[in-house]
Amino acid sequence: MTNFLLPILTFVAERAKENFVKNIRQTDAVQEQFLRKLLQTHKDTELGRKYGLRDIKTIDQFRQQVPILPYSGYEAYVERIAKGEKNLLTPDPVVYLNTTSGSTGNQKLIPVTKRFQNSLGWANLTCIGFLNEALRSRQKNFGKLLVTNTAQITGRTSGGIDYGPGSAGVLRMGKFLYEQLFAHPYETLKAEDSITRHYLCFLFSLNDPSMRGAIANFPMLILRTCNYLERYAEDLIRDIDKGTIADWLKLEPELRFQLERRWSANPNRAAQLREILHSEGRLTPKLAWSNLSYIATARGGTSDFYFERFPHYLGDTPVFGAVFATAEGTLSIYNDFNNDGSILAIETGFFEFIPEDQWEEEHPKTLLATEVQPGKLYRILMTNYSGFYRYDIGDVVEVLGFYEQAPLIVFRYRRGGILSSTTEKTTEFHATQVMQVLQQEFGLPLEDFCITLSENEFPAHYLVNIELAPSVKLSDPQAFLTSFDRRLKEINVYYGSKRKNQVPPPRLRILGAGSFAIVRKRQLQKGIPDSQLKFPHISEDRSFLGGLTIEQEVRLPEE
């Protein structure tokens, strides 16, 4: 591991951050310059000629000539790219195809060029610069981190282009950079089996007591990592003590050989970890790495629900949002710990915002970055070097304020991810807010939850499906359901008004232990990569939780 390169990396990251801060003081100019350069670069592609990019001189012309499109508007081009055709969306060769998770719809393929990847790489460096500054302000140091994302691609198209999760593409194309950041060899991420990959990353990282951070795409995956560390603590300590790699791991012989060459016994560290395990009764990240300084994972959306359980494993370790990114590109960059708002990434794309009163319009009017208002919800459009223009990714963001001249945004929910018994439009953000408050009100850690609708009824009942954390009991389920109903009325005023005489009372279903593990396994079987694993917390698919054990169903007295 080349520790001496970390100071160089952080120095470059600090410069990237300083340049970004300088640029956001002139957000409009930087955004217009980005768009002009992109249009000039892409003017002679097939799509560039179709929309006359060569003749566009202003942002207003761009809005008039290029339509707002969802993925279906680009799908035929992407299929041709996958077969090997060139100069369709971008003049640069497509070197990789990012796959979206597919957890909330059909999986999509997003073209990645080196130019596109480089623009995102600078956003990542900027993020590291902000992280380093935030750590310094707390008298903490930046250092190596634990990451368990797979570096394995999913496959290769008939045109010879690799495709897979965006994180795998980033890791493979930025291998040298990320090797400087990992507390474990890059090769640990090549294990195909998820548990094996986590185990190997733990094994090498535990050998380094000075590790500083851990990163995962979503908070749910951080909790899964903590659970794996607890579950395999004895085996890990034994391997550290003996210098072995457990023979039960699903590991290709060649990869095992590579890792064994880099592995050796560390009895002193094993003794230290064994003492922690025996005295505390468990091994958590905060106990294993006393200098743990941060957790990097997604903020906004459903994250707050999972953050309620972070202290159980991580104590008061602060959470850094890193970047708000999708397979289609990076939207914003976080600048401090425990903040939901992140700064629009004005150097990675050209962004437009559709106000809520324009969402149902066939040709909605858009606002620029400096024209949005704090407290308002917007659909966000991105134009970047993937070759997608004015692309509607389906994300709804809220503007929380401004940092210099750039808006601070936070993801709230996916448009279309709405639950309605009649027309009340409960969003995933509404549901998460309610469940987070209920966990606090009842002192009740939940493994997870999902709100669905009752079958064969109209209007349908809300079914509040919950799984309790291990060894937890809900002493008064009736009060829990009553509070759910009351708080949802307060948070979603449309539910409150419809609940009076149109929406029937909700029902509570307490699911058996391991129910949501079954749901996640079903998703993995559909081909969703484990590092992209998430599932909707509201669903109008009435069979989404089919086949799970219902231990108790509770109804309100008014039924």
Q: Would you state the torsion angle of the CA atoms of residues 548, 550, 556, 559, taken in this order, to the nearest 10 degrees?
A: 80
- In angstroms, the CA 410 to CA 428 distance is 14
Task: Output the six-digit token pair for 497.
Answer: 């008004």
Using alpha carbons, select from 353, 356, 330, 351 the residue that is nearest to residue 342.
330
- In angstroms, the CA 121 to CA 50 distance is 30
* The pLDDT value given to residue 101: 63
Give the CA angle between residues 375, 377, 378 to the nearest 5°.
135
Using alpha carbons, select from 510, 491, 417, 498 the residue that is nearest to residue 460.
498
Contact call for residues 370 and 56 (beta carbons, < 8 A): no
Contact call for residues 421 and 311 (beta carbons, < 8 A): no
Tally the C-alpha atoms within 13 A of residue 335's C-alpha that lie toward its C-beta.
Answer: 19
Q: Where are the beta strands (DSSP E) in 54-133?
A: 96-99, 109-112
Instruction: Report helix, strand or coil for 223.
Output: helix
Q: Is 213 exposed, middle or buried (0-12, 13-18, 19+ CB in 10 A)?
A: buried
Give the distance, in angstroms, between the CA of residue 307 and the centroid of all CA atoms in the same chain: 14
Residue ranges of the chain with per-residue pLDDT less than 70 = 1-4, 101-106, 416, 527-533
Q: What are phi and psi of 550, to 5 degrees?
A: -100, 110
Instruction: Report helix, strand or coil for 6.
Output: helix
Contact call for residues 488 and 451 (beta carbons, < 8 A): no
Which pTM value belongs to this model?
A: 0.86
Task: Output the six-digit token pair for 349.
Answer: 């794309």
**What is the DSSP secondary structure assignment for residue 89, as one 8-state letter?**
S
What single letter denotes the amino acid at residue 56?
I
* The pLDDT value given to residue 360: 87
